[in-house]
């Protein structure tokens, strides 16, 4: 049985960790380097760092913050936001990241996925998908630029295309559930998990330990990511993992 992973996420804007609801109403959650160190000590399996305004503002990821954060970590570290070229990937990986996450840039130039996979290996390339259910399309559609722009891609089809091009992992965020703490979108997660052959990280909606168990067992996610419930000390990585272990979920 493969071990399930618990991953805190640092959404960073202007050098600070922030969190909102459905990608809006952001509030401060702390210093990224301090939080990263805390989560490493707590037993997090990995850490995801997303510079959430880099693509929208048309700038590069904050390399100095990435370097400072990576220096404190002994766990795998994924960085995303503003990564548009192979050179950007090289820069972020040299700064200490283990994997790069691409979202908007992957949709605008899908060949970037293949270039990255060919150069670094698929295990380094995470394609992040921000999806929202659209009544008129009767399915989940993909959004770019931090959830601001709707694309013509259906989430399931885009996930499959991303994997075909070389993505080694899918970071799937339900925009409908983001920050709501009502539970992960099990239907969306299961649909993507059944459609691809690479690991799927579920994101958006974590509110308690039971939500993690549901998405890891019922939707068969390979990992579950959360932000606000960890940042604001509503629970801890250690507490979530202890709960899952007691319920028979295979965690480290």
Catalytic residues: 11, 130
Q: At what angle do helices 63-71 and 86-94 cross, to 10 degrees?
A: 40
Q: Within a 13 Å sphere around the CA of 102, how many CA atoms are in the beta-carbon half? A: 29
Residue 59: other Cβ atoms inside 10 A: 12
Residue carrying structure tokens 């059944």? 194
* Residue 189 CA from chain centroid, whole number: 13
**DSSP secondary structure letters along 77-123:** EEEESS--SHHHHHHHHHTT-SEEEESHHHHH-THHHHHHHHHH-GG
């Amino acid at each position: 049985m493969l071990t399930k992973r618990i991953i805190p996420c640092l959404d960073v804007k202007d050098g600070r960790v922030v969190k909102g609801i459905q990608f809006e109403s952001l509030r401060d959650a702390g210093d990224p380097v301090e939080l990263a160190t805390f989560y490493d000590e707590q037993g997090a399996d990995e850490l995801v760092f997303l510079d959430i305004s880099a693509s929208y503002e048309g700038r590069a990821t904050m390399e100095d913050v990435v370097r400072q954060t990576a220096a404190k970590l002994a766990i795998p570290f994924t960085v995303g936001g503003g990564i548009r070229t192979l050179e950007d990937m090289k820069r972020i990986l040299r700064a200490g990241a283990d994997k790069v996450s691409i979202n908007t840039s992957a949709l605008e130039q899908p060949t970037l996925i293949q270039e990255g996979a060919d150069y670094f290996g698929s295990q380094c390339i995470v394609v992040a998908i921000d999806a929202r259910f659209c009544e008129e399309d009767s399915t989940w559609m993909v959004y770019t630029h931090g959830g601001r722009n709707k694309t013509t891609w259906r989430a399931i089809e885009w996930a499959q295309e991303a994997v075909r091009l070389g993505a080694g992992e899918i970071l799937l965020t339900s925009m409908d559930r983001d920050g709501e703490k009502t539970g992960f979108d099990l239907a969306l997660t299961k649909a993507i998990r059944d459609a691809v052959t690479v690991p799927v990280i579920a994101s958006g909606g974590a509110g308690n330990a039971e939500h993690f168990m549901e998405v890891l067992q019922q939707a068969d996610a390979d990992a579950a990511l959360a932000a606000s419930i960890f940042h604001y000390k509503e629970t801890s990585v250690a507490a979530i993992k202890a709960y899952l272990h007691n319920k028979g979920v295979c965690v480290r």
